[in-house]
Amino acid sequence: MDIFAAIQSSLDIKEVDIRTYSPLTLAFIGDCVYDLVIRSMLVGEGNMQVNKLHKQKADIVKAPAQAEFVEAIMDELTEDELSVYMRGRNAHTATKAKNASFTDYHKATGFEAMLGYLYLTHEQDRILQLIKLGLERTWNREQR
């Protein structure tokens, strides 16, 4: 059982039609999913100071890094994933990241929307597959 299914079952959350969700709602949960996967990866590499973990995590999850990440995996996205990404990228947001360009922020929002969509459709394996591929294509482990 994936984590969302377990949460739904334990907390008696009803199944919803996520096609009715705004891309920004999908990005809201997708941001958390990506953050959790990256934090899990970093913690899994061994015990270290929390401030070092935080800096490494921030370097990977910041909007410019996510923009580079999604560009690196774009050719691997399905039609549905690409559609959700585009909806998220094109969504009108009231804010922007303080250290990101308008373009990078919107690409990151699209990426997070796609992850949120996959999470809410119980596609945990696909999330991990895409994140692993993106890390292989963008993140040099020797940078850490």
Number of domains the chain contains:
1
Domain that holds residue 138: 22-143
The percentage of the chain sitting over the pLDDT mark of 70, rounded to a whole number, equals 96
Q: Respond yes or no: is residue 31 known to be catalytic.
A: yes
Q: What is the pLDDT of residue 122?
A: 94
- Report pLDDT digits (tens) over 42-74: 999 888 899 999 999 999 999 999 999 999 999
User: Model pTM?
Assistant: 0.90
Catalytic position from the list 2, 12, 31, 35: 31
The percentage of the chain sitting over the pLDDT mark of 90, rounded to a whole number, equals 70
Supply the CATH number for residue 93's domain: 1.10.1520.10
Query: Which candidate, 116, 123, 37, 125, places its Cα nearest to that of 84?
Result: 116
Give the distance from CA 57 to its chain's centroid: 13
Collect contacts of 8-16 with beta carbons under 8 A, ≥24 apart: 16/120
pLDDT at 141 over 60: no
Mean pLDDT of 27-36: 96
| Residue 132 forms part of a structural domain | yes
Name the burial class of residue 130, with classes exposed (0-12), middle (13-18) and buried (19+) by CB atoms within 10 angstroms of its CB.
buried
| Residue 16 forms part of a structural domain | no
